[in-house]
Amino acid sequence: MLDLIIKNGLCYIEGKLKNLDIGIKNSKISKIGSLNNEKSKEIFDAKNLTVLPGCIDTQVHFREPGSTNAEDLNSGSRAAIAGGITSVFEMPNTNPPTSSKKEFSNKLKLAKDRMYCNYAFYFGATPENYKELSELKDLEGCCGIKLFAGSSTGNLLVNKEEDIEKVFQNSSKIVSVHSEEEEILNMRKKLIKKGDVKTHPIWRNEVSAIASTRKIVKIAERFKKKAHILHVTTRDEVDFLSQHKGNVSFEITPQHLTLSSPECYEKLGTYAQMNPPIREKIHQDRLWYAVRNDFVDIIGSDHAPHLKANKEKTYPDTPSGMPGVQTLLPVMLNHVNEGKLKLEQLVKFLCENPAKIFGIKNKGFIKESFDADFTIIDLEEIIEIKNEKIESKCGWSPFDGDKFKGNPVATIINGEIKMKNGKIIGDPTGKSIKF
């Protein structure tokens, strides 16, 4: 007897949508085909719905330990599954930072039996811990190394070229990079106008982004190591990175594809403030060019929640970042419905490429013997994002009041239905991701 059968859905298998049933046993995909004669403890009727492999958000900040008033591993994972995300990669800029094996082990302990989605954690690079980076290859639950080349918290800033070289030279995992040139940012601080968030992208200009990205790619190529450039925002970076695809991959966020300057700052004020910033439409158009042509590899939310009280202070005394793990899919499915990208591209960016680029075992595809993680969507459902429905502790979204067509209606993790029609079901049973 099977544990669960997903019936009557349009399933994304081998690059095509197929009318097939999926049988699940012991948290794995057991059978794919017509399963009318099979018995099962539970049946999920996916009529008029589309069944995707479990979607993976490769960049979230769940703030634990240290800033658990804004988010913690439990609340962040609830937001993830409410938005159809089955697995997350969580960032190391916590307090204390996840930059030693001791703190990494502590992070795994904090996650156990508290996270609804599956999880992996980044190991934070510092100027001092480069020797440890060679020992991470088999570290349980470690998705990669995070390098802040600009703008970080605590001891995680690695901005000197010789220190960046040491990180790459010693890396035993892919190095994901926040790519802004710290020196340029410091030089341009004088352009910040108090109380005027529209100066945020002027201060953190496109030159600071491309200068850093060129340096990172040069170093990665020299040492023949894998680099992943996070939240790319500029046309120069798109053009440069599309010419350097060997060992280098890159990410774009839904907010950079959806919001543009100055309108977003006029509407949202400091709620639109993030690093790297939301830029003018000329840059956004180039990001879409990267999407259309499959130059980009991954769409990640860069979920970075802050409390309203802090976001409402006077700029620049306001933190950068916005929540996004719960809204990633509705925003991107709306873009699919608008014809800006194809559904199969979205599956590539959220499922297949994360699995391939980061070496995730048994996820990213609907295949027999793979983990039974699924994101089930209704491409026709129109939803309105509302702050009061945000599961994140911060309780707000930059998309509050916006309507989107396309919605995740169920999240299945390790063969268990954990979200259905917006309701979170049962206890947190997420597991650490295997690489």
Catalytic residue annotation: 302
List Cα–Cα distances, 213 to 150, 154, 232, in angstroms: 11, 22, 9
- Residues contacting residue 339 through CB under 8 Å, at least 6 positions apart: none
User: Encoding tokens for residue 213?
Assistant: 């990205």
**CB 89, CB 57: distance < 8 Å:** yes
User: Encoding tokens for residue 356?
Assistant: 């391939």
User: Encoding tokens for residue 228?
Assistant: 């992943």
Is residue 276 reached through a cis peptide bond, with omega within 30 degrees of 0 on the bond before it? yes
Secondary structure (3-state) at 105:
helix
**CB 150, CB 179: distance < 8 Å:** yes
DSSP alpha helix (H) spans, 23-160: 73-82, 101-111
End-to-end distance of the chain based on CA atoms, in angstroms?
30
Distance CA 364, CA 367 (A): 9
Specify the amino acid at residue 28.
K
List Cα–Cα distances, 373 to 150, 223, 435, in angstroms: 35, 36, 16
Specify the amino acid at residue 376.
I
- Residues contacting residue 246 through CB under 8 Å, at least 6 positions apart: 221
* Letter string b/e over residues 43-77, b meaning 16 or more CB atoms within 10 A of that residue's CB: bbebeebbbbbbbbbbbbbbbbbebbebbbbbbbb
Distance CA 250, CA 98 (A): 23
Task: Count CB atoms within 10 A of the CB of residue 211.
Answer: 19
Task: Count CB atoms within 10 A of the CB of residue 310.
Answer: 15
* DSSP symbol at 239: H
Rg of the chain over all Cα atoms, to the nearest angstrom: 21
Secondary structure percentages of the chain, helix, strand, coil, to 5: 30, 25, 40
Distance CA 252, CA 263 (A): 20
List Cα–Cα distances, 320 to 200, 228, 270, 328, in angstroms: 10, 21, 8, 18
